[in-house]
Amino acid sequence: SGYVGREVSRRAVRRGWEVTSLSRRGINPESGDPVMEAVNWVAGDATDPNVVKPLVNEVDAVVHAVGLLFDVDSKLDKLNLIVSGSG
């Protein structure tokens, strides 16, 4: 639900796609915006395969805009493996 994630979500909803957004808080950062109200906001840890796998298993596409700079202990290197289905 950062800037990039919000904009990707907004554009996807406007194109008629069903959108789910996973974030630590799982709340709509733009409450009251009818486009953003159409997003399914889910709270969870993007580094936890048990959280991510059920969300990505039944979808046509995944966009992840998770970003932590200089955090080698974040486990985000594994996120690409999970969402691609290769990990």
Decide if 66 contacts 87 (C-beta within 8 A).
no
Report d(CA 3, CA 52) in Å as an integer: 21
pLDDT tens by residue, 18-51? 999 998 899 999 999 999 999 999 999 888 889 9
pLDDT tens by residue, 57-82? 888 988 877 765 545 666 666 666 66
Predicted pLDDT of residue 9: 94
Angle between helices 49-56 and 77-84 (to 10 degrees): 30
